[in-house]
Amino acid sequence: RLFKEISKHKGPPVFTQAERYKMVRAIKWVDEIVEGAPYVTTLETLDKYCCDFCVHGDDITLTVDGKDTYEEVKKSGRYRECKRTQGVSTTDLVGRMLLMTKAHHSNMGRSDYQQHTDNFGSGPKGHSPWTGVSQFLQTSQKIIQFASGKEPQPGDTIIYVAGAFDLFHIGHVDFLDAVSQLSEKPYVIVGLHFDQEVNRYKGKNYPIMNIHERTLSVLACRYVSEVVIGAPYAVTKDLLDHFKVDLVCHGKTEVFPDRDGSDPYAVPRKMGILRTVDSGNSLTTDVIVQRIIKNRLLFEARNQKKEAKEMAVIQAMKRREEDKANERAQAVL
């Protein structure tokens, strides 16, 4: 969808148009991208791109004047719905970025966190189930849905990278793409550090996303074959032997020393299998956070306006249900 369309109907996007296209192309379940798609999905759009039906989550999407963006395709029977993943909320992530505390993942009940949830996900007449803040709960089934389930094959080059991969973005995508191009048959393993480890070397309120959220974000990338959840900060000989690693890669970002001051990449460096990979992209998690902070008031206004529209739809749906119930009761009498 075009930047102007998003801004008009939903408020300011965090990412640019080009960044959003690149991110979606990197999702392993995506086959093709339609650039500049209209915000309101029509039958003409579906027919133009030979689509059998349109799919959306079970949260409602409204135009700037409060109309269902999928009304036309719903009426024609060419609409399918997937259950929204409970606890995954842009609203919540934005709130975490502005709540400069180290313990935002475990401080959901704190008054200052509640203030952010009030600003970002609640209107004057109650909470919308779609825009309100909720907490993500990881399950083994979710991991299975995202995991490739493929083991390395003979002839594969097993490449290991490690980091926080927080707020998974196109800087990460470009890095992983560059890493995968180091071999004709790459098998890329991403080691994700636990939240406490990330906070140790990043500080502030990092990571914005917890280990469970970061795991699914990385697994969704088409360049990733496997994820090590809670990988050790230092790349050890045991780790390299266990996964039969051929190459270890790191980007051009700063490498922070381990707790004892040692180089976390000392072992692969000594073995001659460490490579520095230039992604050609300067976007970092810090840059994204700064974008949010810069546009804080715009994001607050966006979410409050969005939720007000959603609450109006909910109230209208309730009234229709009540009217139908009253009609049935009258018919019985």
Give tens-digit pLDDT for 202-218: 988 899 999 999 999 99
- Spatial neighbors of 298 by CB under 8 A, at least 6 apart, are 11, 12
What DSSP string describes 35-72?
TT--SS--HHHHHHTT-S-EEEESS--B-TTS-BTTHH
Lowest-confidence region among 9-23, 176-190, 201-215, 297-311:
297-311
| Distance (Å) of CA 55 to CA 29, 142, 304 | 13, 19, 26
What average pLDDT score do residues 82-105 get? 67
- Structure confidence at residue 129 (pLDDT): 45
| Distance (Å) of CA 193 to CA 150, 202, 213 | 22, 12, 12
Give tens-digit pLDDT for 44-85: 999 999 999 999 988 777 777 778 889 999 999 999 998 877
Share of the chain above pLDDT 90, in %: 51
Distance CA 118, CA 19 (A): 29
Distance CA 4, CA 8 (A): 6
The pTM assigned to this predicted structure is 0.77
